[in-house]
Amino acid sequence: MVSYYIRYNSESTILWISPLVNSKDGVDEKDLTDQKSYLDLLSQIPREDLEQITMGIDRGVVRPVQAGEEVFDLTPGQKKNKSGKEKYLKRLQHRLSKQQKGSRRRGRTKKKIGRVHDQIANIRKDFCHQTSRKLVDKPDIKVYVFEDLRTTNMTKSAKGTEEQPGKNVKAKTGLNRAILDKGWHMLEAFTKYKAYRAGKVVFKIPASYTSQECAVCGHTHPDNRKSQEKFLCLDCGNTDNADNNAQKVIKKRCADIRKLGDEKKQAFYRRFIGVKLDVLIEDTRDSATGLLKGFSSNYVPVLIAGDDRLKNTVTAVQIDKIVDGRSMGTIRED
C-alpha cells in the first residue's frame, strides 16, 4: 500500500496530498508540491500578489532566453568555444566528402565528427543547466511560465514536393538550425525539475500571438511587430523590445490563474468519470452533502457514499459524476 503525506491548514482543511517518495539528493518529497496542487493554491492568491511571484520566459533566436527584464545568452567563452568547434566540424565534413567510402580514414573521420557534435551539444546543455539554475535560484519567484512551443512542428522542412515546391527554403533551413541550436525544450525540462525540487512550479500557456499582443492594452495585430526586434502597438503606442513585450504577455496570461485553474480542474475531473480509483479517505465530511471526503493517488478530490467504517483507509471508489468541481464516488465491490 502506498503511504501518503497530507498537509492541513490552521482550520484543519486539507491543502494537498502527495505520495511519499525516497529521495537520493536529500530533498524530502513529502514537502514538495505537485503541479495541480500548486494550481489550486495559486488560484486563491490575488492577481496583484501572484504577479509579484511569477516570471514569464520567452525563448527566441536572437535572445535565447528573455526571463523578466533579464536576458540570458551563451558566455563569451562558450561562444568562442562553440564557434571553434563548428569551424572544425565543417573542415571534417569537407574532408569526409573527399574520402573513399568504406576506408579506414573515412571511418576515423566519422568518429571525429561524432565527437565534435557531442562537444557542441555539451556546450548547449551546459548553458541550459546554468540558466535554469539562475532562474530557479531567484528567491522572490515561485512560478515560471513558458510558452507551449511545438518545436517539432516549427522546425519542419520547407522543401515541399515536386508538384508544390517550398518557398524561401534556404532561409527556413537556417531558422530551423538556429531554433534547434538554442535547446528550447532542454531549458524548459531543466527548469521544470529544478523548480520542483526547490518547491516551485513551472506552467505552460498557449503560444498563439504572444509576439503580436501588446502587454499594456492587449491589442493583437501582426503589424504590431514589424521587425524582429521592435514592438510598437498600433492602438496605444506602447514601444518595447519584442522579446521583452512577449515575456510580459506570457506572465500576464498566467496571472489570470483563477480562470485557467477552473478550466484545467474541470478537464481533469472529467477524465475520471466511470473510472475506479483507489481513494484515501479523510476523517472529515463535506459540509454540503455530509459525505466522506477522499483523495485518489491522482489528486482527484472525491465525495464518497459509503460506510463510516471506511474512514482513514484506502478503498476502491467508482467515479460517477462531478459535484461542485469534485468527483462524486460510490464504493463498488470487486
Instruction: Give the Cα-Cα-Cα angle 198, 246, 45 (nearest 5 degrees).
Output: 45
State the catalytic residue, choosing from 40, 213, 243, 282: 243
Q: Which of 58, 188, 213, 282 is catalytic?
A: 58
CA–CA gap between residue 87 and residue 185 (Å, rounded):
25
- Check: CB of residue 206 under 8 Å from CB of residue 144: no
DSSP string for residues in 235-301 = TT--EEEHHHHHHHHHHHHHH-HHHHHHHHHHHHHHTTTT-EEEEEEEEEE-TTT-PEEEEETT--E
The DSSP element (H or E) to which 70 belongs, if any, is strand 70-72
Distance of alpha carbon 192 from alpha carbon 136, whole angstroms = 9
Report the DSSP pairing between strands 143-147 and 201-205: parallel
Please give the Cα distance from 201 to 269 (Å, whole number).
Answer: 21
| Catalytic hit among 147, 188, 213, 282 | 147
Residue 324 appears among annotated catalytic residues: no
Residue type, position 3, single letter:
S
**Active-site residue, 58 included:** yes
Cα gap 314→331, rounded to integer Å: 11
Q: 118: how many CB neighbours lie within 10 A of its CB? A: 10
251: cell is: 506572465
Label the pairing between strands 65-67 and 14-19: unpaired
Is residue 188 part of the annotated active site? The answer reads no
Euclidean distance between CA atoms 300 and 294, whole angstroms: 8
Q: Measuring CA to CA, which residue among 122, 222, 228, 129 is closest to residue 175?
A: 228
- Catalytic residue positions? 58, 147, 243
